[in-house]
A and B are shown apart, each in its own frame.
Chain A
Amino acid sequence: MSVLEVSDLSVSYATRDGPVPAVRGVSFDIDRGQVLGLAGESGCGKSTIGLGLLRLLPRGTEMAGRAVLNGADVLAMAPSALGAVRWTQASVVFQGAQHALDPVIRVGDQIEEAILAHRSLTRRQTTARTAELLELVGLPARRAKDFPNEFSGGQKQRVMIAMALACDPDLVIADEPTTALDVMVQAQVLRLLKSLQMELGLSMLFITHDLSVLAQVADRLAVMYAGRIVEEGPAEEVFGSPAHPYTAALAGAFPRIGDEAFVQAPGGLDGDPPDPRDLPTGCSFHPRCPRVMDRCRTIEPPSFPAGTGHRAECLLLEQGAPESMPT
Chain B
Amino acid sequence: MSATPPASESAGASGVPLLRVEDLHVTFAGRHRVFERQGRASARAVDGVSLEIEEGEIVALAGESGCGKTTLARAIMGFVRPEHGTIEFRGKPLGKDLRGYRREVQMVYQDPTGALNPRQTVYDSVVEGLRIHKVPGDEAELVDRALARAGLRPPERFLLRFPHELSGGQRQRVVIAGALALEPRVIVADEPVSNLDASVRGEILRLLLQLRRDSRISILIVTHDLALAWSVADRVAVMYLGRIVEVGPTRDVLLEPRHPYTRALLDVVPDAQDVGAIDRPLLTGEPPDPTRIPEACRFHPRCPALADGRAAEAGVEGACRSDDPRLDPIVAGHLAACHLAHRRPSGFRVP
Contacts and interface: CB of A to CB of B under 8 A. Distances in A.
Interface string A174-218: 000000001111111011001000000000000001111111110
A8 to B, nearest CB: 27
B132 interface: no
25 contacts: A41-B197, A182-B64, A183-B225, A187-B282, A194-B278, A212-B272, A236-B275, A239-B272, A239-B273, A253-B198, A253-B201, A255-B228, A255-B231, A256-B227, A257-B227, A258-B255, A262-B231, A263-B230, A265-B206, A266-B206, A266-B209, A266-B231, A268-B198, A269-B200, A269-B203
A266 B201 contact: yes
A250 interface: yes
Given A182-B224, A266-B205, A209 B231 contact: no
A215 B282 contact: no
A254 B226 contact: no
Q: Which 3 pairs, one residue from A and one from B, show the smallest C-beta to C-beta distance?
A: A268-B202, A215-B272, A187-B268
Contact of A258 (B64, B254, B277): B254
A152 interface: yes
A230 to B, nearest CB: 13
Interface in A242-274: 249-259, 262-270, 272-273
Contacts of B200: 41, 268-269, 272
Interface of B: 35, 64-66, 167-170, 197-203, 205-206, 209, 224-228, 230-232, 254-255, 264-273, 275, 277-278, 282-283, 287
Contacts of B266: 257
B252 to A, nearest CB: 12
B270 A264 contact: no
Contact of B272 (A194, A251, A288): A251
A264 B209 contact: yes
Interface in A206-242: 209-217, 236, 239-240
A211 B270 CA distance: 9
Contact of A41 (B64, B198, B265): B198
Contact of A212 (B232, B271, B283): B271
Given A191-B278, A216-B277, A272-B170, A210 B270 contact: yes
A184 B287 contact: yes
Interface of A: 41-42, 149, 152, 154, 182-188, 190-191, 194, 209-217, 236, 239-240, 249-259, 262-270, 272-273, 288
Contact of A265 (B231, B265, B287): B231
Contacts of A250: 198-199
Nearest to A264: B209
The interface centre, meaning the residue of B225, B232, B254, B266 with most chain A CB atoms within 10 A of its CB, is B232
Contacts of B268: 183-184, 186-187
Contacts of A262: 227, 230-231
Contacts of B230: 255-259, 262-263
A106 to B, nearest CB: 14
Contacts of B35: 149
B199 A191 contact: no
Contacts of A214: 272
A257 to B, nearest CB: 5
A85 B149 CA distance: 54
Nearest to B206: A266
B306 to A, nearest CB: 18
Given A190-B270, A211-B198, 14 more contacts: A182-B65, A183-B225, A183-B268, A190-B278, A210-B198, A212-B272, A215-B275, A239-B273, A254-B198, A256-B227, A257-B266, A258-B254, A264-B232, A269-B199
A266 B65 CA distance: 23
Contacts of B64: 182-184
A80 B228 CA distance: 48
Given A216-B278, A254-B272, A257-B266, A41 B199 contact: yes
A188 B285 CA distance: 12
Contacts of B224: 182-183
Contacts of A265: 206, 231
Given A191-B282, A255-B227, A216 B272 contact: yes
A272 B273 contact: no
Nearest to B194: A179
Nearest to B302: A184
B270 A216 contact: yes
B254 A257 contact: yes
Contacts of B287: 152, 154, 184-185
B92 to A, nearest CB: 31
A213 B269 CA distance: 9
A193 B152 CA distance: 42
Given A187-B282, A217-B278, A250-B198, A266 B232 contact: yes
A251 B271 CA distance: 11
Contacts of B168: 42, 272
The interface centre, meaning the residue of A182, A183, A240, A256 with most chain B CB atoms within 10 A of its CB, is A183
Contacts of A154: 287
Given A183-B64, A215-B275, A209 B198 contact: yes
Contacts of A210: 198, 270
A194 B275 CA distance: 12
Contacts of A254: 198, 227, 270, 272
A257 B278 contact: no
B205 A209 contact: no
Contact of B203 (A190, A215, A236, A270): A270
A270 B265 CA distance: 30
Given A256-B227, A266-B206, A272 B198 contact: no
A212 B226 CA distance: 13
